[in-house]
Amino acid sequence: MSSDNLPWVEKYRPAKLDDVYGQKDVVQTVRKFAKEGRIPHLLFYGPPGTGKTSTIIALARELYGKNYRNMVLELNASDDRGIDVVRDQIKNFASTRQIFNSGFKLIILDEADAMSNAAQNALRRVIEKYTKNTRFCILANYSHKLNPALLSRCTRFRFSPLADSALQDRVDYVIKAEGLKIASDARQSLLELSEGDMRRALNVLQACATAVESGEEITQDMVYECVGAPRPQSVMTVLDAIMSNDWTDAYATMTKIRKTEGLALVDLMSGFVSVLDKYELKPRTRMAVLQGLGDIEYSISKGGSDKIQCTAVIGVIKNALENEN
Ligand SMILES: Nc1ncnc2c1ncn2[C@@H]1O[C@H](COP(=O)(O)OP(=O)(O)OP(=O)(O)O)[C@@H](O)[C@H]1O
Ligand SMILES: [Mg+2]
C-alpha cells in the first residue's frame, strides 16, 4: 500500500471531523455552521500540532466531497511569493463561475501570521470583495500577529494544546493500527513529552517504531532518546549529587552524565525544572532555584561560556539550599 511510505502525521491525518480528537467544542460549532449553511469567515489559531489544518480540511471534505478540488483553494500564506500572487490566485479562483451551484467556495489561508502587515492589509479588501461567493478560513499560531481589522472579519476559534486523554486515544489508535508494542511507562513519557502537540507525539512514536525490530517493545529510554530530552532518572542523579555531595563530586557527576547522554546544559536545566516538583523544598528555596535557573538560561542564550554556566547552576542550587536554614 502506498500509504506505508507516508509519515504517520500524514497517514493518520483526520479524514473526517470525527477523527479530530480533543477539540470537541470547535468541531461541534463548525459542524453546526456547516449544517445550517451559514459558515462565517473563520479564524483558527493556537499552538502547532493541535489540528487546525486537519479540522478545516476535514470540514471541507465533508462539505464538498468529490467536488473538493473545485471548491477549495489552499494557500500557504507564508510562501514568499507576495500578496500580488496570492491576490491573483484568489481572484481567479473566486471569480470562476460554478456550474453546479453548491454554496460557498472555501479559501484556506494557512500560516497567515507569517504575512507582513502590508499583505494583511491588502487581504482584508480581498476578503470583502469576494464575500459574496467565498468564505475564508485563516489559520495561524498567534492571533496577536494578525491585523485587528482582519480579526474582526472572522469568527475566532482557539485550538488549545491537546489534553493528555486526547493524545492518548489517538496514540493508542495508531499503536494498534501499526501493531506496535510499547511499555506503559514509555507511553506515559511520550504523552508528557509531547506537551499537547499531536504532531510531535506521532513523529516521536514513528521514530521509535523505526528504531525497534518488529515485535520488539518500545522502551522509555528510546522515547527520551528520540525526543532528545534527558531521562528523569539521569536528571535526578545530577540533582541529588548537587544537593547532597560536595562541589567536586557534583561537578564530576554533572559532566559525566552530560557526556554519556549528549545533553546540552539547557536540556538538563529544563529537566531540573520538570523533576523539581518531586522534591520537597520550602517555597522560598524553590523560588530561588527557579529564578537562578532562569537567569542562567538567559545568560546561555546571550552566549555565556558553557563551563561557567555549568558551575553557576551548581552554585544557584547549593546557595538556595544553604539559605533555607
Ligand atoms: N486534534 C487532532 N486529532 C487527531 N490528529 C491530530 C490532531 N491534531 C493534530 N493531529 C495530527 O497531527 C498532524 C498535524 O496536525 P495539523 O496539521 O492539523 O496541525 P496544525 O494545528 O495545523 O499545526 P500548525 O500550527 O503547525 O500548522 C495531523 O496530520 C494529524 O496526524
Ligand atoms: Mg497547520
Q: Percent of the chain having pLDDT more than 90?
A: 67
Whether 1 has a pLDDT exceeding 50, the answer reads no
Condensed to tens digits (0 to 9), the pLDDT of residues 242-275 reads 999 999 999 999 999 999 888 899 999 999 998 9
What value does the mean pLDDT take over residues 58-70?
90
Pocket test for ligand 1, best of 16, 199, 203, 204 (most atoms within 8 A of CB): 199
Whether 6 has a pLDDT exceeding 50, the answer reads yes
| Residue 300 confidence class, pLDDT cut points 50, 70, 90 | very high
Nearest residue (by CA) to ligand 1, atom 28, is 13
CA distance 196 to 101: 40
Residue 214 Cα to ligand 1 midpoint, Å, equals 27
| Residue 81 confidence class, pLDDT cut points 50, 70, 90 | low
Q: Percent of the chain having pLDDT more than 70?
A: 95
Nearest residue (by CA) to ligand 1, atom 18, is 51
- Domains annotated for the chain, with CATH where assigned, are 2-158 (3.40.50.300), 164-227 (1.10.8.60), 232-322 (1.20.272.10)
- For the record, the C-alpha cell of 260 comes out as 554519556
Order of strands across the sheet with 134-140?
72-76, 105-110, 134-140, 42-45, 155-158
26 lines ligand 1 (CB under 6 A): no
User: What are the counts of helices (DSSP H) followed by strands (DSSP E) for the chain?
Assistant: 16, 7
Q: What pLDDT score does 80 carry? A: 61
Q: What pLDDT score does 120 carry? A: 87
Whether 322 has a pLDDT exceeding 70, the answer reads yes
Q: What pLDDT score does 23 carry? A: 95
Condensed to tens digits (0 to 9), the pLDDT of residues 97-153 reads 665 556 789 999 998 888 888 888 888 888 888 888 899 999 999 999 999 988 999
Q: What pLDDT score does 100 carry? A: 56
Helix, strand or coil for residue 223? helix
Condensed to tens digits (0 to 9), the pLDDT of residues 139-198 reads 999 999 999 988 999 999 999 999 999 999 999 999 999 999 999 999 999 999 999 999
Ligand nearest to the CA of 47: 1
Q: Which of 16-20, 239-243, 261-265 has the lowest average pLDDT?
A: 261-265
Q: What pLDDT score does 36 carry? A: 87
CA distance 78 to 85: 12
Nearest residue (by CA) to ligand 1, atom 29, is 13
196 lines ligand 1 (CB under 6 A): no
Q: What pLDDT score does 142 carry? A: 94
12 lines ligand 1 (CB under 6 A): yes
Ligand nearest to the CA of 167: 1
Query: 196-234 b/e with 16+ CB inside 10 Å = b?
Result: bbbbbbbbbbbbbbeeeeeeeebbbebbbbbbebbbbeb
Strand (E) positions, the chain?
A: 42-45, 72-76, 105-110, 134-140, 155-158, 181-182, 217-218
